[in-house]
Structure formats: structure tokens, C-alpha cells
Amino acid sequence: MDAVRLFLAIDIPPRAREIITALQNRFKPLGFNASWVAPENVHLTLQFLGDTPPEQIPDIHQGVSTAVTPVPQFMVTLKEIGVFPKLKKPPRTLWVGMEDPQNRLTALQKNIAKQMGEIGFPKEKRKFTPHLTLARIKQERGGKRAKLERLKREIESSPEIEMEPFRIDAVRLIESQLTPMGSIYTVLKEFPLGG
């Protein structure tokens, strides 16, 4: 059987998707050459596993179960808007951050990275920053500085996101199929926090 493209992620509630749609509609008129993430596909990635042989999936199930058991359910909120890398360089990703006062997202991500590392998946080199990707910005020639300034002004003038905290209660193993129309995501298994 062919390898499947997999990642581990946390889902978000419908209200968060409404806010993401509104944010995207606010930034789209800036005229960036960007690939906008469909609101129904927005999620918090904990670890990208990539092309994975199907026979490795039982080990992933076992590892994720072990990783989520010590972490109880917890609350998070949407936070500020930002870009990767910082605004001094041409941005590649526009995102909205997630705030978690008890740092349970980071603990959960570390547990998952440790378990996945033990079955051969390489650890992410970048520091984990809990975020939801709104758009992937493509580099373009000419007029970049003006667009960068507009983006910077829009981010700096963004009002605080007002949304009730929401509960994180599970991690999902998701298959991603790349198609010319965009990615199609299929949830293969859900792992409740706290076992």
C-alpha cells in the first residue's frame, strides 16, 4: 500500500472558524499574492508526520495515546495576529495565535514530539508557537515594500480578538490528500485528552 501523508492536530470550534473567516476577509483586500487556508481546514498542527507507510499507523496510535493520557482537557483563546518570520523580513505565513495560560498546548506538543521521535519521526527544528494559519504568502517582485507596510499597519491596528475561551479535549490523526483544488483532510482517529 502507498504511503499516506499524515499530521497530528487539534480541531477548533465553529465560532473560531467564523472569526478566522472575518480576519481573512479583512486581510484579503491588501492585495497579497497568498494562498488562503479554507476556514474548514484551519487547525492547530502539533506535528507534521509527512508520507508515512500504513504499517506504521498502529505505532502512531500507541504513541499518541501515551502522549495525551497525562494531559487533562484545558481552555484556550484566540490571541493576536502575526506573521512568520517577523515583519522585518518578507512574511511567508499570516497567522492568529492561541493563548493557553497553563501552557498545556506546549506540554502536549512536547509529549507528542517525544513519542513520535521514539518511532522515527524527526523533531521539528523550529520552536513550537501555537497558531492557526490564515494564509501562506507567496513572494512577489516589485511593490513589496508598500504591501509589507500595509500588512504591518493592518496587524498593528488590529483590535484584540474577542472570543470566549474554548475547550481542547482531543488530538486528531489526519490524512492530507493534495489535489489541484487544495488539500482534502480526513480524520483517521481521535485521541481524547486525559486518556
Cβ contacts of 42 within 8 Å, gap of 6 or more: 12, 16, 17, 20, 132, 133, 134
Sign of CA dihedral 51, 105, 100, 86: negative
How many angstroms from the chain centroid is the CA of residue 112?
15
Give residue-wise pLDDT tens across range 104-119: 999 999 999 999 999 9
- Collapsing DSSP states into helix, strand and coil, what is residue 24? helix
Mean pLDDT of the chain, nearest integer: 90
Residue 140 scores a pLDDT above 80:
no
- Collapsing DSSP states into helix, strand and coil, what is residue 6? strand
Q: What is the pLDDT of residue 143?
A: 54
d(CA 119, CA 121): 6
Cβ atoms of 54 and 68 closer than 8 Å: no
* pLDDT bucket at 186, cuts 50 / 70 / 90: very high
Q: Hey, which bits of the chain come out as E strands?
A: 4-10, 34-36, 44-52, 74-84, 93-99, 131-137, 166-168, 170-179, 182-192
Give residue-wise pLDDT tens across range 28-87: 998 878 889 999 999 999 999 999 999 999 999 999 999 999 999 999 999 889 888 876
Q: What is the pLDDT of residue 138?
A: 81
Residue 25 scores a pLDDT above 80:
yes
In percent, the amount of the chain with pLDDT more than 90 equals: 66
Walk me through the domains of the chain, giving residue ranges and CATH numbers. Answer: 4-192 (3.90.1140.10)
Residue 103 C-alpha cell reads as 501552557
Q: Summarize the confidence of residues 138-165 as an average pLDDT.
A: 77
* pLDDT bucket at 141, cuts 50 / 70 / 90: low
